[in-house]
Amino acid sequence: EKKRQGVIIENQILSLSVNGYETENPEGQSARELELSLYTALAEQDILERFTARVRRTAHADEVETHSFLLAFFSVIRDLREADEDFLLVDVSGEVTEVSVARNGELRMSVSYPLGRNFLVRTLALECAISFEEALSLLATHSREQGNDILASRFRSAFASLEEKWMKEFEESLSHIAGEAFLPHAIFVAADKTIAPWVTRTIQNEALYQYTLTAKPFVTNLADEKMLNAHVSFGPGVEKDPFLMIDAMFLNKIKN
């Protein structure tokens, strides 16, 4: 069996403090105390090579620079006026759900579990004996609460099972990143239109109130085209994808 090899795709100093004061350039300063926040992201080499090779073929690019979505998501949200220094990030896309906490404007911890959008759709398709496309449409209908009584009764148990699995892992993630402290009230969610309403609704579960200082619901903010529209320009007739908007804002920031 071929051994999996990881490679570093990102190694960034997010903040640097000298004698308790944050600075962008510590060179030449005398210090008794130096503190830095380092962000490192790893990826499996084989997967990364296949991904970049496809990008080169499709985009006819000579070089492909890779970044993790978490750093882009954190960086963009931190710079928005809607965000305080303390907030949570929840990314429900692809194969995993990733839950992260920022305190004092710094990314402190992140936990992921393999119950992302694609998992939800595949599980629903398997349990209901329908195609992936049908499951995706069904999940979107359920997420928007647009289904009729017959549809709801037929798939109720499948949805209940999915929600129980996702909620269990989500609560365990919150417990892990909270430690002995209370979590910030504000949560910023990255999810596509298929499941975004369901995710934001599920986060309001009373079982999660215990993790906030006032034992009240989290304040959920959807990082969608409405929130990001003022920061990204699109051509006429182009569909606005929130994930591409976040990436575009991040790339614009690091290139300037």
Q: Where are the alpha helices (DSSP H) in the chain?
A: 45-59, 69-79, 117-128, 132-143, 149-178, 196-202, 225-228, 242-255
User: Where does the pLDDT of residue 32 fall: very low under 50, low under 70, confident under 90, or very high at 90 and above?
Assistant: confident
Helix, strand or coil, per DSSP, at residue 100:
strand
Task: Report the pLDDT averaged over residues 132-148.
Answer: 83
- For residues 256 and 253, what is the distance between their CA atoms, to the nearest angstrom? 6
Is 70 exceeded by the pLDDT of residue 3? no
Residues 36, 13 contacting (CB under 8 angstroms): yes
Supply the Cα-derived Rg of the chain in whole angstroms: 20
Nearest to 14 by CA among 32, 37, 42, 46: 37
Residue-level pLDDT at 74? 93
Q: Cβ–Cβ contacts within 10 Å for residue 198, how many?
A: 22
User: Where does the pLDDT of residue 254 fall: very low under 50, low under 70, confident under 90, or very high at 90 and above?
Assistant: confident
